[in-house]
Amino acid sequence: MWGDFVLIKAIVFDLDHTLFDRYETLRLVVPMFRERFKINKDITDQFFWEQICWADKNYVHTGWERIFKHLVEQKVFEEVPDYQEYVDFVLSCFKKVAVKYPFSIPMLREIRKRGYKTGIITNSSPEIQEKKIQMLELAPYFDEIIISGATPYSKPQVEIFQLMAEKLDIETNEMMYVGDHPKFDVDGSRNAGCTPVWVKTTGTWIFPEIEKPELQVETVEEIPQIIDRL
């Protein structure tokens, strides 16, 4: 099977939970909640952060509704906000703060030094994701960046992976795709013909119908080691 991997010419990444530290970003977001919503006085910032991170790890792949429900169940809010108000607020925070993993840029420098093309495919709106990429100072390390909101496609549709291959002037089977979401990243890229790598940031795999990929890493810091194995 390893013989199939020698053709890799490009390594393409997901953004959220892959190239930046969402949990440390959420630590900075917690005080912003106090400015916007009425939080129970007995709830410390540390407790709030631990609960939102726990919920994110366990429920982010099934939607934000369950994360919000968990915070409500933990009686974080003195006055429970409307769900859409909560979502709009969190999204607005992600345009203000983003904490990069210390190893993301060194890893990208290393794989580009080895001659690989690089890209990002991320779901969401250009307004939000472009701001994150700007705050994280990631743009100079990529040949192409595709944000689903600027295209007719989104992950896990194979077309968005095919679009990236076209932009990089390669075939999809020459592309490694690295991401945390079992359905959007792993299954989507595999169906497009790419070599998927699962980043186990959340540590949860809640899709028993989807086969786990052979290549798995704890963080993207390990990607050069994966390349060495090919």
pLDDT tens string, the chain, 230 residues long: the values are 444 445 899 999 999 999 999 999 999 999 999 999 999 999 999 999 999 999 999 999 988 999 999 999 999 999 999 999 999 999 999 999 999 999 999 999 999 999 999 999 999 999 999 999 999 999 999 999 999 999 999 999 999 999 999 999 999 999 999 999 999 999 999 999 999 999 999 888 999 999 999 999 999 999 999 998 87
Judge whether 82 and 72 are in contact, CB under 8 Å: no
* pLDDT score of 98: 95
| Strand pairing report for 215-217 and 195-199 | parallel
* pLDDT score of 137: 96
With helix as H, strand as E and coil as C, how does 75-90 read? Answer: CCECCCCCHHHHHHHH
**Residue 41 CB-density burial (10 A; 0-12 exposed, 13-18 middle, 19+ buried):** exposed
Residues paired with 147 in a beta bridge: 122
| Strand pairing report for 144-147 and 195-199 | unpaired
* pLDDT score of 5: 46
Beta strands in 76-204 (DSSP E): 117-122, 144-147, 175-179, 195-199
* pLDDT score of 3: 41
* pLDDT score of 204: 84
Q: List, as one string, the DSSP characters of 10-65.
A: EEEE--BTTTB-HHHHHHHHHHHHHHHS-B-TT--HHHHHHHHHHHHHHHGGG-HH
* pLDDT score of 7: 86
* pLDDT score of 203: 86
Q: How far apart are CA 198 and CA 186, in angstroms?
A: 6
* Length of the chain (residues): 230
* pLDDT score of 218: 96
Q: At what angle do helices 83-93 and 22-36 cross, to 10 degrees?
A: 120
Report pTM. Answer: 0.93
* pLDDT score of 2: 44
